[in-house]
Amino acid sequence: MAHDSNGPPQMHATTILMVRKGGRVVIGGDGQVSLGQTIVKGNARKVRRLAKGSVIGGFAGATADAFTLFERLEAKLEQYPGQLTRACVELTKDWRTDRYLRRLEAMMLVADKDVSLLLSGAGDVLEPESGVMAIGSGGNYALAAARALEDSGHDAEDIVRRAMRIAAEICVYTNGNLVIETLETSDS
């Protein structure tokens, strides 16, 4: 997102990475929030637990929009307990059709013990082909690094930490201040 000469500086996204490997799913995110060419915060918490700790999620995009989406997802998870995919499909339906939600600019990665998903305002509920998925400004860098490390002897958390460090070295909208959440998976 670049500065638009017709409006205020735009907030840049972040880097969120998810790796499912070896009986664990890990989501990590950096803490940087940038407004135009200025870093306005270095320790934002963009990864969190939902559904009493049984779901982890991370967001990239406008912070207030992401908090709204987390709240809506939490409500859907209460409505459909233990059904992450169903809750996400219902959230994205609302996201696409609700006049207020439709304007929200964010993406989310969410996971529980069984499934990992990417959610977008375009109506996407996508499961990664492999156990790796990333979003945000540095997402492609983190994704490439994680895929390169995927077949190594490193565990899921170590892959997330290493790949995020690489993304932070390349993407100016990503820093090394990480928040990481982990869940044991059903294949552990």
Per-residue pLDDT of the chain (188 residues), as tens digits, is 444 445 544 445 689 999 999 999 999 999 998 888 888 888 989 999 999 999 999 998 877 788 888 999 999 999 999 999 999 999 998 888 877 676 777 889 999 999 999 998 888 899 998 899 999 999 999 999 999 999 999 999 999 999 999 999 999 999 999 999 999 998 76
Here the tokens at position 87 are 């809750």
| Residue 98 located in a structural domain | yes
Domain span at residue 139 reads 11-180
| Residue 187 located in a structural domain | no
| Residue 4 located in a structural domain | no
Number of domains present in the structure of the chain: 1
Here the tokens at position 131 are 């156990």
CATH number of the domain within which 69 lies? 3.60.20.10
| Residue 2 located in a structural domain | no
Catalytic site positions: 14
| Residue 110 located in a structural domain | yes
| Residue 5 located in a structural domain | no
| Residue 35 located in a structural domain | yes
| Residue 65 located in a structural domain | yes
Give the pLDDT score at 27. 98
